[in-house]
């Protein structure tokens, strides 16, 4: 007899296929997740790539600009030395040079080699010196016209290798034409320093901080010293000082747009339109008006015309221009000045951005590639699983089919275990099974309940589940529950195994001992079945209504609990208000009268003292509802806090604490109330001092206070004294001599004192 498997049972091939698919996905996950974690997949690799490149470029910028700052300080020292030597040799002072072209031109000739040597030693594109002197002090605007030299390379000087020719933009024109310098079309004789930060800022910083070394006075700005020059640059300038510390002018270097763009190429392989920029910033907002750019010319020229670039957040984020142009990237702050420099707060950021369309297209392309690869791997794994499961299970399914048909003679599957099983079955084909093979199963039948026993016998008679449900008036869920319990008690895995055991019992000749021959449930007519179905529906509806009623009761209980908690909170706040009401009234009065008091400082201290007390007092109140003990160390901190505030009113408090145990929290609160009341009283005394000792004496915890003034005017509040007595404490005032009295508050170490 063959039995059909349960509908929920899975064939061996399906089980093996599922196993192989799970194995495939597990191996795939073991590869994909580690790669994603280290950034080898597109979900994060693009951000890591841009971050690494920005870190490299920022470090190079920091190195170049830091080197320029160092060289600017050295240039200042060498120029000052050259000026001093020239003036000593020619016999004039710096003040004599203003208005005397021959002296200024002589100085310029001596300073030119120093400037050229300084330019050769840096990666800068230009060098300058601006002297606090003018050729003609009598013309209009002479106060902002300054003599000096400004020299720029014809090509960017990258790597400190010098340049073949250079332009003279400011200074004596006779210095040009010698094969080293050429006049540029923007040449002028002198600098205009009106509203020029390169001149104003370093000299103002020097005047305000005369003791700072030159290395702390290097100033970087994005405003070019020469108006209308036609190109963007960042400029560092440093004061030029004489031997007495007086200012002679400023000097420094420029790093222009061409120098920056050739030196700091973004070189991000995935984005040929990436832009690296260096600009003044405030948080994630960058000012593009004076920024330097490197990368795609079309993109950064469009960026430069926008004025500002604003990031939507920190780290890797989206950036927007005023015209709505979108970029994706990140920025990093670059420190151009030391922490102790007057210019330490000048914020400059380096940023690496790409057009948002380019970024989204690249990420989408990467995701598509990886998605296709992943799909291919999954498809190959699924196909391999299907093929392998078929090749593995075909001999098994063939053997099982032959076993079910009883064709055991000469069957060979090529699988040793299956062939051995078939051989054993063939050898036992005519032998009855021993009774002890199913003895354990038959003994377990007695464990079934009457209802479960009925269901077991119905299955033995070949009656279907629908007929059993209708005949026993039970629902489908109830029958499934009974089935699970039957399987557990009989030790079988499911209905198929149960039916196999029943068949073995029948073939073993012991059917009459364990299976009764009751009549199966009577066939049910269509009308009766409709009645039963209606009854089942009504039962289900009643169950649903009962569930809804239970939910309603649960919601009602929840509302009651919420109301109860709200009532408890209201009572709790009312109790707190009762305890601190007098202090709150006093606080309001003190604040209202603050404008009319003579000594506002002391009045302010009293208000602060009361505010601190109320804060800690509320904390103690709520802590009392959570715990019964309070650490003495924390109480000492509270009292020290009050003593420190009272010190601003001239009350000097010296508190020593020897208590290291936990106190009953109510007593800790009374100690704190008492300590505050004494300190508040002391703020009304002139030059009061208080010695306080918080310690353990025999079987008591004691707080002793010894004020320096007349203690007779102190009166403890009646409510405080009542609370102390109620808690079993004692308060005493002891006269130590004619002018001195001490206060003492004690509580026993244990509970409330008897009597």
Q: How many CB atoms lie within 10 A of CB 576?
A: 15
- pLDDT of 8 above 50: no
Confidence of residue 4 (pLDDT cuts 50, 70, 90): very low
Q: Lowest-confidence range among 85-99, 378-392, 581-595, 703-717?
A: 378-392
Average per-residue pLDDT for the chain? 82
Question: What does the pLDDT average to over 60-70?
Answer: 92
Q: Say what the pLDDT of residue 529 is.
A: 62
pLDDT digits (tens, 9 = 90+) for 183-200: 888 899 899 999 999 999
Given a contact cutoff of 8 angstroms between Cβ atoms, the answer to whether 479 and 537 are in contact is no
Q: Say what the pLDDT of residue 755 is.
A: 33
Q: How many CB atoms lie within 10 A of CB 637?
A: 12
In CATH terms, 650-755 corresponds, of 3.30.565.10, 3.30.300.30, 3.90.1150.10, 1.10.10.10, to 3.30.565.10
Q: What is the 3-state secondary structure (H, E, C) of 221-290?
A: ECCCCCCCCCCCEEEEEEEEECCCCCEEEEEEEEEEHHHHHHHCCCCCCCCCCCEEEEEEEECCEEEEEE
- pLDDT of 162 above 80: no
- pLDDT of 40 above 80: no
Q: Is pLDDT larger for residue 79 or for residue 740?
A: 79
pLDDT digits (tens, 9 = 90+) for 355-387: 988 888 888 887 888 778 878 877 877 777 777
**Which of 471, 466, 448 lies closest to 518, judged by CA?**
471
Given a contact cutoff of 8 angstroms between Cβ atoms, the answer to whether 219 and 205 are in contact is yes
Question: What does the pLDDT average to over 420-437?
Answer: 61
Helix (H) or strand (E) holding 706: strand 700-707
- pLDDT of 608 above 90: yes
Q: Say what the pLDDT of residue 437 is.
A: 60
Given a contact cutoff of 8 angstroms between Cβ atoms, the answer to whether 267 and 295 are in contact is no
| CATH 3.30.565.10 in the chain, residue ranges | 650-755
pLDDT digits (tens, 9 = 90+) for 16-33: 667 777 877 787 777 766
Q: Say what the pLDDT of residue 44 is.
A: 57
Q: Say what the pLDDT of residue 164 is.
A: 57
Given a contact cutoff of 8 angstroms between Cβ atoms, the answer to whether 456 and 486 are in contact is yes
* Residues paired with 328 in a beta bridge: 318, 354
Entry pTM? 0.49
| CATH 1.10.10.10 in the chain, residue ranges | 432-514
Residue 623 token pair = 């802590």
Q: Say what the pLDDT of residue 33 is.
A: 66
Which residues, at least 6 apart from 334, have a Cβ–Cβ distance to it below 8 Å?
58, 61, 62, 65, 278, 348, 349, 350
- pLDDT of 673 above 60: yes
Question: What does the pLDDT average to over 272-295?
Answer: 87
Question: What does the pLDDT average to over 97-118?
Answer: 89
pLDDT digits (tens, 9 = 90+) for 571-589: 667 666 677 778 888 888 8
Please tell me the class of the 432-514 domain. Answer: mainly alpha
Q: Say what the pLDDT of residue 581 is.
A: 77
Q: Say what the pLDDT of residue 739 is.
A: 64
Q: Lowest-confidence range among 273-287, 479-493, 525-539, 626-640?
A: 525-539
Q: Say what the pLDDT of residue 544 is.
A: 85
Question: What does the pLDDT average to over 512-516?
Answer: 68
Q: Is pLDDT larger for residue 221 or for residue 305?
A: 221
Q: Is pLDDT larger for residue 518 or for residue 582?
A: 582
Give the integer Cα–Cα distance in Å for 202 and 341: 11
For the CA atoms of 241, 246, 249, 254, what is the dihedral angle to 10 degrees?
40
Q: How far is CA 72 from the centre of its chain?
A: 41
pLDDT digits (tens, 9 = 90+) for 134-159: 988 888 888 999 999 999 987 555 44
Q: Say what the pLDDT of residue 425 is.
A: 62
Q: Is pLDDT larger for residue 524 or for residue 190?
A: 190
- pLDDT of 448 above 80: yes
Q: Say what the pLDDT of residue 159 is.
A: 47
- pLDDT of 249 above 90: yes
């Amino acid at each position: 007899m063959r039995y059909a498997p349960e509908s929920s049972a899975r064939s061996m091939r399906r089980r093996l296929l599922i196993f192989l698919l799970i194995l495939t996905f597990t191996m795939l996950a073991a590869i994909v997740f580690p790669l994603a974690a280290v950034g080898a997949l597109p979900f994060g690799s693009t951000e890591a790539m841009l971050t690494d490149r920005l870190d490299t470029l920022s470090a190079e910028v920091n190195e170049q600009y830091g080197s320029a700052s160092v060289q600017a300080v050295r240039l200042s020292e060498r120029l000052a030395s050259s000026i001093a030597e020239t003036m000593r040799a020619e016999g004039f002072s710096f003040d004599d040079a203003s208005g005397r072209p021959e002296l200024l031109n002589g100085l310029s000739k001596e300073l030119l080699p120093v400037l050229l040597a300084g330019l050769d030693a840096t990666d800068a594109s230009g060098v300058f010196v601006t002297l606090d002197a003018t050729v003609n002090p009598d013309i209009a605007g002479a106060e902002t016209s300054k003599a000096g030299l400004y020299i720029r390379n014809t090509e960017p000087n990258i790597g400190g290798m010098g340049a073949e020719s250079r332009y003279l933009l400011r200074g004596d024109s006779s210095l040009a034409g010698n094969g080293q310098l050429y006049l540029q079309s923007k040449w002028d004789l002198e600098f205009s320093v009106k509203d020029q930060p390169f001149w104003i800022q370093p000299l103002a910083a020097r005047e305000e901080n005369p003791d700072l070394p030159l290395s702390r006075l290097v100033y970087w700005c994005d405003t070019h010293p020469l108006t209308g020059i036609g190109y963007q640059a960042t400029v560092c300038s440093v004061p030029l000082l004489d031997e007495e510390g007086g200012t002679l002018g400023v000097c420094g270097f420029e790093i222009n747009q061409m120098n920056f763009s050739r030196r700091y190429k973004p070189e991000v392989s995935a984005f040929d339109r990436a832009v690296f920029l260096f600009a003044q910033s405030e948080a994630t907002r960058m000012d593009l008006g004076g920024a330097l750019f490197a990368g795609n010319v079309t993109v950064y020229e469009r960026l430069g015309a926008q004025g500002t670039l604003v990031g939507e957040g920190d780290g890797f984020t989206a950036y927007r221009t005023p015209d709505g142009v979108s970029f994706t990237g990140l920025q990093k702050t670059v420190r151009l000045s030391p922490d102790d420099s007057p210019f330490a707060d000048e914020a400059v950021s380096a940023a690496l951005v790409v057009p948002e369309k380019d970024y989204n297209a690249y990420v989408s392309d990467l995701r598509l590639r990886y998605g296709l690869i992943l799909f291919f791997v999954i498809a190959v794994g699924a196909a391999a699983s299907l093929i392998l499961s078929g090749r593995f299970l075909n001999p098994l399914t063939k053997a099982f089919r032959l076993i079910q048909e009883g064709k055991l003679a000469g069957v060979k599957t090529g699988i040793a275990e299956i062939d051995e099983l078939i051989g054993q079955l063939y050898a036992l084909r005519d032998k009855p099974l021993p009774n002890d093979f199913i003895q354990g199963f038959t003994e377990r039948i007695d464990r079934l309940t009457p209802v479960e026993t009925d269901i077991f016998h119905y299955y033995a008679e070949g009656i279907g589940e629908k007929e059993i449900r209708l005949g026993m008036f039970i629902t489908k869920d109830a029958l499934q529950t009974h089935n699970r319990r039957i399987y557990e008690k009989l030790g079988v895995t499911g209905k198929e195994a149960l039916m196999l055991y029943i068949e073995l019992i029948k073939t073993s000749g012991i059917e009459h001992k364990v299976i009764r021959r009751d009549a199966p449930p009577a066939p049910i007519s269509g009308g009766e079945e409709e009645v039963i179905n209606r009854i089942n529906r009504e039962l289900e509806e009643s169950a649903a209504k009962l569930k809804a009623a239970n939910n309603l009761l649960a919601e009602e209980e929840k509302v009651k609990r919420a109301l109860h908690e709200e009532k408890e909170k209201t009572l709790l706040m009312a109790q707190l208000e009762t305890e601190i009401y007098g202090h709150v009234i006093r606080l309001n009065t003190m604040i209202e009268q603050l404008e009319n008091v003579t000594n506002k400082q002391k009045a302010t201290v009293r208000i602060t003292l009361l505010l601190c007390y109320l804060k800690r007092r509320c904390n103690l109140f709520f802590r009392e509802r959570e715990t019964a003990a309070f650490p003495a160390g924390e109480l000492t901190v509270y009292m020290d806090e009050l003593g420190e505030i009272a010190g601003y009113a001239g009350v000097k408090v010296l508190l020593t604490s020897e208590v290291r145990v936990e106190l009953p929290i109510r007593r800790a609160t009374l100690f704190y109330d008492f300590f505050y009341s004494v300190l508040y009283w002391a703020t009304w005394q002139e030059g009061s001092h208080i010695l306080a000792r918080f310690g353990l004496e025999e079987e008591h915890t004691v707080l002793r206070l010894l004020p320096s003034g007349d203690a007779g005017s102190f009166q403890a509040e009646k409510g405080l004294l009542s609370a102390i007595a109620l808690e079993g404490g004692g308060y005493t005032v002891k006269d130590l001599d004619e002018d001195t009295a001490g206060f003492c508050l004690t509580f026993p170490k244990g509970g409330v004192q008897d009597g």
